[in-house]
A and B are shown apart, each in its own frame.
Chain A
Amino acid sequence: MAEALLRLERLEKSYGALRVTDAVTLDVRPGEIHALIGPNGAGKTTLIGEIAGQVRPDAGRILFAGEDVTRLPVHARARRGLARSFQITNVLPDFTALENVALAAQARAGSSFRFFRPAARDEALNGRAAEALAGVGLAARGGIRADALSHGERRALELAIALVQEPKLLLLDEPMAGTGREESTALTRMLQRLRGSRAILLVEHDMEAVFALADRISVLVYGRVVATGSPAEIRADPVVREAYLGEGE
C-alpha cells in the first residue's frame, strides 16, 4: 500500500451547533481518483474548503505529501502541489481564456515579481497555456474573454488552469455542475485520460460520472464519512443506500 498523498485525521468543524465536519478521516493515494459523494448539506464543500485552506478546521490534522499543512494558507498549499476547481466557476472574467491559463503557468514557473517584460509576449507561458487549452478542447477559444465563454467552456477552462499547475492532487468541486449531457460526457472522458497521472479528489453529484471514474468512493452524510470503498462495495452498502433513498440517484 502506497503512502497516502493526502491524509485527513479526525477533522472537526462546527458552525454554531451544526457539525459540518465530524471526525473525518480520509486518505487519497497517489494516482487514484477518489470520489466524495453525499446528499446536499453533507458538508462536502466545507471539507474541500478545509483541504484547500479557506476554511480552518476546529480540530484534527491535514497531511499533504507527508507534511502537516493544517495551518498553511491557501496559496502556500497551492505551491506545494494542490490545485482545485471551484463549485461556482472561478475564472478571471476580464482575461482571455489564454491569459487565464498563462497566469497559472506563470504561477507554476515561480517568479511573478517581474515588473518590466510584457507577459503577453512570453512565448514559454503562452505555449504551455495553448497546449493546456487544446487538451480540454478550447484550442480555438484562446482569444475569447472568459466572461464571453459558455458555462461549459468555463468549466473546461477551470480544468485547464488546474492542469497547467501540474498539481500532485487535483481537487474538483462538482466539475459537472450545470453542464449539459454532452459536456459532462466529454469532461468524464477528459478526467478518464488523467487517470494514474495524478491524484484526484472528486466531489460530484453526477453518479454516472462518479461510478465511471472513481477508484474509491467515500460517502459523507451529516459531516461524517459513513463508508469508504470501491464502487462495487459502495453500491452494495446498505447504509449508503439508505442515505440516498428518496434522492432518486
Chain B
Amino acid sequence: MTARAAEDRPPEAPALPAPAGTRARALGRLLVPVLLFAAFAALPAAADALGQTFLVSFATRVMILALAAMSLDLILGYGGLVSFGHAAFLGIGAYAVGIAAEEGLTEGLAVFPLAIAAAALFALATGAVSLRTRGVYFIMITLAFGQMAFFTAISLSAYGGDDGLTIWGRTEFLGGTPLEDDRAFYFVVLGCLAACYLLARAIVASRFGRVLQAARQSPGRVAALGLDPFAYQLAAYAIAGGFAGLAGALLANHTEFVSPAYMSWHRSGELIVMVILGGMGSFHGAILGAIVYLGLEEALSHLTEHWRLLFGPFLVLVVLHARGGLLSLLPVRPRDG
C-alpha cells in the first residue's frame, strides 16, 4: 500500500529505527503523483510555446493507456493476478462506443456507462472462470479469453470486422459536442485519469483493498480468517475491467476508430510491461510506466523501425537493476514501510 503513513500507527508502536528517511519517502509518495499530474496539466500550454502541437494528441494517448495500465495494476500489483487478457476490456470499451455510434447512440451519459458496464461484465464473467485457476494457468486462461474477444471482434462483419470501424464523430454530451475540441478532450481525459487515480488509491486503502492485498500474500491465511479470497479477487477483476472499459471508450474517441487490434494479446503484453516498468503496486508507477514506454516507443521509432531491438535491452536492465520498476530508482518505493 502506498498511502501508508507513519502517523497511521498507534501511539504505543514506536517508529521504525530510521525515521529520517520516512518523512522524505512520505513526501515523495505525495510529490511524484503531484508532479506527474502537474506536468500533464501544463503540457498543452508548453506544447503551444514549443510549437509542438502533436504532443497534445500524443499525451492524450499516453494518459488513456496509463489509465488502462493503472487498472491492470489493481489486479496485477495489488491482487497478484497476472492477467494476460487485459486488452479485451480496453477493446470492449472501445467497441461499445463504436457500435453505439453505428446504431445512432452518441449520448455520452449513456455511452460511457455502457462501455464501463460492458467491460466490467465481461471481466466478471471471465473472471469467475479464470480465478478458479492459479499461476501459469491463470495467465493462459485470461490470454484465451482475450483472444476470444479479439476473434469475435474480427468476425463482427456488420461493424467493420477485420478492417475496424470508423467513428464519424466523438461522443456527444446533452446534444453538445465538447469532445470535438482536441484541447477540451485532452482535459477530459486528464480529469478521468486523475479521478480514477484517486478512486483506485481509495479502493486499495479500504477494507476491501486490504483483503485484496492479503489474498495476494497468502490466500490460505485470508480463508482462515473467514474471508473467501475468490469473491474479493473477482470484485477487483470486475472493477479493473470497468476502469479499462472507460479507457477503451476514451481511446475510441481519441482515434475516432476502433479495431480488433485494440484487443490483441500484444496490447495486453504492453500493458503488463508498462506496469512492471513503472513499478507494480503503485498507481503512479503505472502512469510513469505508460509515459516511459510510449515515450521511448515514439522516440526510438523515429531512429529505426527496429526500435524494439533497443527497447528490449532497456527493459532487461530495468528488470535486473530496478526490481521495483523505475519508481524504485526515485526516493519513493511502492509498498515500502
Contacts and interface: CB of A to CB of B under 8 A. Distances in A.
A112 B213 contact: no
B207 A120 contact: no
Range of interface residues on A (Cβ < 8 Å): 35 or more
A113 interface: yes
Contact of B205 (A76, A79, A83, A118): A118
B221 A143 contact: no
Contacts of B223: 53, 73-75, 78
Nearest to B220: A90
Nearest to A93: B217
Given A120-B4, A143-B14, A143-B16, A92 B207 contact: no
Contacts of B226: 75-76, 78-79, 107-108, 165
A98 B218 CA distance: 17
B206 A103 contact: no
| Shortest Cβ-Cβ A-B pairs, 3 listed | A78-B226, A142-B13, A143-B13
A115 interface: yes
Interface in B211-260: 211, 213-214, 217-218, 220-229, 232, 235
A115 B202 contact: yes
Contacts of A112: 207-208, 210-211, 227, 232
Interface of A: 52-54, 73-76, 78-79, 83-84, 86, 90-96, 98-99, 102-104, 106-108, 111-122, 126-127, 130, 134, 139-145, 161, 165
B203 interface: yes
B1 to A, nearest CB: 8
Contacts of B6: 143
B208 A115 contact: yes
A75 B13 contact: no
Contacts of A94: 213, 217, 335
Contact of B9 (A84, A86, A114, A143): A143
Contacts of A90: 218, 220-221, 224
